[in-house]
Structure 1
Amino acid sequence: MAGLSNIPNSDDSQTHPLLDEHIGTLDEMIERFIGSFGWAQLIQAMVVSFAWFFDAQQTFISVFTDAKPTWHCIDPKYSYCNSTIITNSCKLPRNAWAWNEPIQTSTVSEWDLSCLGPFVAGLPTASFFSGCLLGGFVLATLADSSLGRKNSLVISCLMMSLSAFLTALSPNIWIYSILRFITGFARSTISSCALVLSTEIVGKSRRDKVGIIGYICYTLGFLSLPAMAYLTEGSSWRVLYILTSIPGVIYSIIVHFMVHESPRWLMVQGRKEEAITTLRSIASYGTNYNASDISLSGISIELEQHSNADLYSAIKILWDKKWALRRLSAVMVVSFGVGMMYYGIPLGVGNLASSLYSSVTLNALSELPSSAITYFLIGRLERRSSMLFFTMFSGLCSVMCVIIHEEQQGLRIGVELLSFFSVCTAFDVLLIYTLELFPTCVRNSALSMVRQALVFGGIFSPILIAAERGVNDNGFLSYGVFGLVICVCGLFIVVLPETLGEIICDTMDEEEQKAATISMLNASI
């Protein structure tokens, strides 16, 4: 039976034919000796991508742990009090009402946060995203410089899981918010490291589809939350943190012993013998080539002088090159709008539906067709046009959630799901697009910066949602703002180049040479 590596490359015809004469990359070595996509590569990609599962859990766990429970009146003096008429319990004396659920089911009920204002109510989630933002800037280039993809992934996942476990021991809202900040700081580079590591071990023809594995794992992690919350209904919110943190610790140990470092990163760092050893290890599993034949003969990669320089050398490279800075700036603006929508909709969906479990589950399920569409069509989707369509459509649907009246609850939820589906697809395409826009020597750093822009958009989401609950404005402060922002930010995609079917480069010089060759070819047509 033929292996996965024998699947033909359907995208080769879209690559400029003369580029191979000017640009030599590791793609040829990988596809020659270990195949485009073999079983060893598939196993590593699946193991590495599973980090997204735990990342999703810690990102959206506050939807349940910090949810505002329903309440009822208990003081007969306030006979007019009815939760179906008076929707804001803060308008009543505290001794006139009580929570319907046990007090320990949510941080809001345990610490009585519901009437302390939007800042305090949104502080834990905002702290989490602030930690993600700071962690991205501090840890962004470690995977490109000293630690590498694998070690960065292991350390980040382990730190995130341990801090999540400690979060279950929080005595008050302030310690809780600090630990959420640390959790966000630790997880800031998990998905980018996992995505880069899983895609750099495969050939060009399968790189985009391997990236989708992470999205599927992320969706499964998101889906696991309503199931776990439902099974532990009535229990303390602390149980949910414990259940999601312990498997993450075990996973980190598995990755440390089972996963190989990226041979691309090893080569760019000048560690050629380790790169060959890694390729031989992978080639020894089910390929048609002799692992001992792997060598560097015929492969020419000019390492940049700053590839082993200081920690933030990759950021300096991006800043010094005008074309790279222009690309990074534009894609980060787009990411900000996508992030505000992507993180904001699940956090605020409880405002549109009566059942938190069903609404979160429906949103999580909408990521599955998004990942499926990306997987099957990514080889044919033009990056710019598809990103422009999905951002505009998501923004339009989000604004529609404000226009549609509350009496049409089913229609509002349906439009909200369309909005989330569209932004999920935009999110998926955006990360793959970013991988293709930047060469190996700065790819992880560029992807981390883009994810920081996503997170920066997410910081504003819980504050807007908490403020909306206080004024009851039918969703304009959340869904209305989300929709307008993503529409404006999405327009910046038009300044980026198309990357569908193009060769992926390893150094900045290769990327510039490729661009020059393409320009020359286009001019000759």
Structure 2
Amino acid sequence: MADPNPLLSQAGSEEPEAAPPLTEGKRKGPTLDDTIEHCIGDFGWTQILQITLVSFAWFFDAHQIFISIFTDAEPKWSCINSNFSSSCNENSNLCRLPRESWSWDFPASTSIISEWSLECAGSIITGLPESAFFSGSLVGGFALASLADSALGRKNMLVLSILLMSLTGVLTALSTNVWMYAGLRFIAGFWRAPLGASALVLATELVGKKWREKVGIIGFIFFSVGFLALPLIAFLLQGSSWRLIYLWTCVPSMFYSIVVFFVVQESPRWLFVKGRKDEFAETLRSIAAPANRSSLTQSFFGRCAQWEEKKQETDIFSALKILVEKGWSCRRLLAVMVVGFGHGIIYYGMPLGLGNLSFNLYLSVTLNALSEFPASFVAFILIGKLDRKGSILGLSLLSGVCSVCCVFVRWKVLQIALELTSFSSACTAFDIVSIYTLELFPTCVRNSAVAMVRQALVLGGALGSVLVAVGRKRGLLLSYGVFGFIISICGLFVVCLPETRGRVLCDTMEEEERKNAAFDRIYCA
């Protein structure tokens, strides 16, 4: 006769082996990880909807990161038939020509450069909006990193981030000068800072161990789609005001944030760690596969109530304090942040520097966006078959070598091929780094740790944008050459981290500390 409650029977039979001692005795009943695995380990349609909605946030994140490639670009210009035409040609310095001798090929409203007459303003002024965006991301990352772990949770932090980022983007379209524009870009960067970390952590905590790795890659695929959609939007609006690009990308994301708020569930792991067990039980019931849903009885959750209670911090920065106070977690965080920094140099620097390669801007951006699809596919394959450390190290070195080779190759086709190889390798490596980071840290600090690594990525992007500006004036060695050197050196720091492939996620610092004390004592002392 079939067991009328297979979940309880299975959980009860495995419990003595699965539940290690925590204090003075042993837990009675299923562990937190057992419960989540049994309830949501089977991937159902409800989870597919939840994961798809959460991961789609990356689509809009890509728009805001790379939108300045088109809105802040210097438009093409041509000499006009006038008395000054003899002194005007395509190689002339625009700032030394009389204004009557040339004109923009498109209406001045197509770019902030032409609309506000910034063609001779210098790289500091023209690069100010992009620098302000990255600066805002850095400040916002540090200021908001803990909120998803402490007060707001993953879902509310995601909704707030998207909504305020989008609203600021709409207001950016109303800018009247470069200073107002740069200020609003700073605010947009501030609010988008926690978006990626919240989306990644929430998506992976809504599924069981079997699907965690692959679900994490879905967000990166949506980011690639968003990156690819951007040049299409810009091309369709070619000749129109740059303000329309902001409206077409930001208004839909505002409506998207509302859908997420009403449809997506909070992370069950976070709910339990914060002591909200009633919401935890309701969330599991709502997202569990149909075959397991009938097994989630009151008696089952009554057994879950015997799990060890944890004292919760009320300080919004408590998660960051815990990360820093523990020596092993601080060392681990610094090492993975260095790795993220190196990949940020390539990830943001190369797309921003595509104009330096004398390739058609729309075509080169499209090729880079397309290269993220095979990068995500390779990450999808490697994440379940190869060790994290070896994959990251190998891809980092490949990206570095190809970036350096771009400096010495003069054949344009080979140069763009090397650039695409370097960029896609860095993308694949960072996809794996993101999954690796959430596996390195327990639930109570996981979102903060992922957010800090993404901060390092943005910091690398900020340096990359500076190197692009320098390379535009002094040659590719100071941009692509430095890119390759930095990512190669930073990738080596992965050797100071433990391997995590196939391991179970921990929920408290104590669990993580016990599991990795031996490794940290030997390799990271």
Following superposition of structure 1 onto structure 2, how do residues 65-464 of structure 1 map, counting pairs within 5 Å? Answer: 65-74=71-80, 76-77=83-84, 79-83=86-90, 85-86=91-92, 88-283=93-288, 285=290, 287=292, 289-292=294-297, 294-297=300-303, 301-305=307-311, 307-405=312-410, 408-464=411-467
Q: Are residues 1:59 and 2:62 paired?
A: no
Structure 1 residues 90 and 399, CA, compared in 2 at 3 Å: closer, same or farther?
A: farther
Letter in 2 for 1:270: G
1:106–1:236 contact (8 Å) kept in structure 2 = yes
Find the aligned partners of 1:390 and 1:518 in 2 and give their Cα distance.
24
Query: 1:114 offset after TM fit, Å?
Result: 2.4
Three-state SS of the structure 1 residue aligned to 2:43 is coil
Number of the residue aligned with 1:10: none
2:347–2:426 contact (8 Å) kept in structure 1 = yes
Structure 1 residues 287 and 82, CA, compared in 2 at 3 Å: closer, same or farther?
A: farther
Query: 1:284 offset after TM fit, Å?
Result: 6.7
Find the aligned partners of 1:428 and 1:225 in 2 and give their Cα distance.
21
Structure 1 residues 201 and 26, CA, compared in 2 at 3 Å: closer, same or farther?
A: farther
2:84–2:100 contact (8 Å) kept in structure 1 = no
1:399–1:484 contact (8 Å) kept in structure 2 = yes
Find the aligned partners of 2:431 and 2:52 in 1 and give their Cα distance.
17
Letter in 2 for 1:459: A
Letter in 1 for 2:436: Y
Query: 1:489 offset after TM fit, Å?
Result: 1.4
Find the aligned partners of 1:353 and 1:204 in 2 and give their Cα distance.
46
Find the aligned partners of 1:244 and 1:287 in 2 and give their Cα distance.
40
Structure 1 residues 93 and 20, CA, compared in 2 at 3 Å: closer, same or farther?
A: farther
Q: TM-score, with normalisation over the residues of structure 1?
A: 0.90
Query: 1:301 offset after TM fit, Å?
Result: 4.7
Structure 1 residues 518 and 342, CA, compared in 2 at 3 Å: closer, same or farther?
A: closer
Number of the residue aligned with 2:477: 476
Larger displacement relative to structure 2 (492-501 or 107-116): 107-116
Larger displacement relative to structure 2 (64-73 or 415-424): 64-73
1:45–1:198 contact (8 Å) kept in structure 2 = yes
Three-state SS of the structure 1 residue aligned to 2:127 is helix
Letter in 2 for 1:423: A
Query: 1:289 offset after TM fit, Å?
Result: 4.0
Letter in 1 for 2:426: V
Find the aligned partners of 1:314 and 1:350 in 2 and give their Cα distance.
41
Query: 1:26 offset after TM fit, Å?
Result: 2.5
Larger displacement relative to structure 2 (374-383 or 158-167): 374-383
Letter in 1 for 2:321: K
Number of the residue aligned with 2:26: none
Find the aligned partners of 1:300 and 1:367 in 2 and give their Cα distance.
46
Query: 1:300 offset after TM fit, Å?
Result: 6.0
Letter in 1 for 2:224: T
Query: 1:461 offset after TM fit, Å?
Result: 2.5
Letter in 2 for 1:492: F
1:26–1:299 contact (8 Å) kept in structure 2 = no
1:56–1:218 contact (8 Å) kept in structure 2 = yes
1:338–1:457 contact (8 Å) kept in structure 2 = yes
1:149–1:262 contact (8 Å) kept in structure 2 = yes
Q: Are residues 1:48 and 2:54 paired?
A: yes
Three-state SS of the structure 2 residue aligned to 1:297 is helix
Structure 1 residues 151 and 159, CA, compared in 2 at 3 Å: closer, same or farther?
A: same
2:44–2:289 contact (8 Å) kept in structure 1 = no
Deviations 1:97-132 (A, max 9, x none): 322222111111111222211111111111001000
Find the aligned partners of 2:343 and 2:429 in 1 and give their Cα distance.
7
Letter in 1 for 2:84: K
Letter in 1 for 2:499: E
Find the aligned partners of 1:126 and 1:441 in 2 and give their Cα distance.
32
1:27–1:204 contact (8 Å) kept in structure 2 = no
Letter in 2 for 1:39: W
Structure 1 residues 382 and 301, CA, compared in 2 at 3 Å: closer, same or farther?
A: farther
2:285–2:293 contact (8 Å) kept in structure 1 = no
Number of the residue aligned with 1:514: 515
Three-state SS of the structure 1 residue aligned to 2:303 is coil
Structure 1 residues 235 and 286, CA, compared in 2 at 3 Å: closer, same or farther?
A: farther
Deviations 1:211-245 (A, max 9, x none): 01101111111111011111111000000000001
Find the aligned partners of 2:306 and 2:322 in 1 and give their Cα distance.
21
2:382–2:391 contact (8 Å) kept in structure 1 = no
Find the aligned partners of 1:325 and 1:300 in 2 and give their Cα distance.
31
Find the aligned partners of 2:121 and 2:469 in 1 and give their Cα distance.
11
Find the aligned partners of 1:286 and 1:67 in 2 and give their Cα distance.
54
Q: TM-score, with normalisation over the residues of structure 2?
A: 0.90
Larger displacement relative to structure 2 (507-516 or 18-27): 18-27
Structure 1 residues 337 and 91, CA, compared in 2 at 3 Å: closer, same or farther?
A: farther
Number of the residue aligned with 1:14: none
Count matched residues. Answer: 497
Letter in 1 for 2:341: F
Number of the residue aligned with 2:3: none
Structure 1 residues 291 and 465, CA, compared in 2 at 3 Å: closer, same or farther?
A: same
2:39–2:289 contact (8 Å) kept in structure 1 = no
2:38–2:292 contact (8 Å) kept in structure 1 = no
1:156–1:186 contact (8 Å) kept in structure 2 = yes
